[in-house]
Amino acid sequence: MDPRVLGGVFLGWSLGANDAANVFGTAVSSSMVRYRTAVILTAIFVVIGALVEGMPGIRTLGSITPQSINTAFFVSLAAALTVTLMTIAEFPVSTSQAVVGGILGISLLRREIEWRSVFKVVMCWVGTPTGAALISFILYFLFSRLLINFHLHFLTYDRVMRRLLIVAGIYCAYALGANNVANVTGVFYRAGIMDASTALLVGGLSIALGALTYSKKVMYTVGLKIIPLDAFSALIAVLAEAITVHVYAIVGVPVSTSQAIVGAVVGIGFYKGVKTISVNTVKRIFLAWFLTPVVGAVFSVILGLIAKLRF
């Protein structure tokens, strides 16, 4: 395997380490699910999701502009640098936006870009939090009505919530793999150095490795920070996130699980009529939407120019 593919593997590892918190973060940080159980399930179903439904997203990213092995490396490195920088700045970073920003930067240098694909991706970015908010609002309404009719004892309720959180987490891990594998190896598939099955497998395993090796701290801290909710609300939020991300996996557009989970929390807040998420958090999310692809594009342009000067 070409060593330049390691840039994509590193990006996948980083994605898995960070986004595992959006899958099982609340369940683990509230002691509803053990950390070991959470990361094993996440790793398994991320790979399954990538292999089963990851191809549409890879095709979409590949359609934006032609790729060579060098440009694929620049895109993955630019995205990794962007994710690192935005994480240090404590912004809710979207790996999808970082990758697309990197692709756009290289595309501008080469003057080869398919604007129809870009428009499709950007519209889905806007639709991710709004769609998740709408889905969580509807799910909260339906499931709360259903739950009232059962009159569960609190011990039974606790057991039911634990099992449902595991099921929702499994579904969310599957959706994460199906949707985000394109961010990891999509450009390498387009460059012709990976066939479809290899791109899906390497991408899925990279994300799984990140979840297994470096997600503990993020899962405990981010799980509480992003969604400080009771077990039922957390279940609805994760389920809405999973449905949203899965829909976009089918459409073939990689989106942000962080933006999906925050959108889901906002939807629950609207239903309850309470301020579940702060105005400052919402402002930072909007700022991150703008900054992430721009920074990714800037990094890829810089890398591309350095390569031209050197070679």
pLDDT tens column, 144-185: 999 888 878 888 888 999 999 999 999 999 999 999 999 999
Compute φ and ψ for 153, nearest 5 degrees. Answer: -65, 150
Please give the structure tokens belonging to residue 98.
């970082």
Max mean pLDDT range (103-107, 188-192, 218-222, 239-243): 239-243
d(CA 211, CA 163): 21
189-227: pLDDT as tens digits: 888 888 999 999 999 999 999 999 988 887 777 656 665
249: pLDDT strictly greater than 70: yes
Q: What confidence tier does 141 reach under pLDDT thresholds 50, 70, 90?
A: very high
What percent of the chain has pLDDT above 90?
Answer: 45
Closest CA to 26 of 247, 264, 254: 264
Higher pLDDT, 37 or 107: 37
pLDDT for the residue 311: 44
pLDDT for the residue 309: 57
Give this prediction's pTM: 0.90
d(CA 50, CA 176): 8
pLDDT for the residue 259: 85
pLDDT for the residue 39: 96
| Cβ neighbours of residue 131 closer than 8 Å, sequence gap 6 or more | 244, 247, 260, 263
9: pLDDT strictly greater than 70: yes
* Residue 98 near residue 74 (C-beta atoms within 8 A): no
- Angle value at C-alpha 292, between 187 and 21, nearest 5 degrees: 85
Please give the structure tokens belonging to residue 8.
């994509």
d(CA 217, CA 18): 9
Closest CA to 131 of 216, 292, 254, 244: 244
Please give the structure tokens belonging to residue 203.
């991408």
What DSSP assignment string belongs to 208-251? HHHHHHH-HHHHHHHHHHH----HHHHHHHHHHHHHHHHHHHHH
Please give the structure tokens belonging to residue 25.
């973060």
* Residue 189 near residue 9 (C-beta atoms within 8 A): no
72: pLDDT strictly greater than 70: yes
Q: Mean pLDDT, the chain, as a whole number?
A: 87
| Cβ neighbours of residue 10 closer than 8 Å, sequence gap 6 or more | 76, 80, 206
246: pLDDT strictly greater than 60: yes
Mean pLDDT of all residues in 83-111:
83
Please give the structure tokens belonging to residue 78.
């630019």
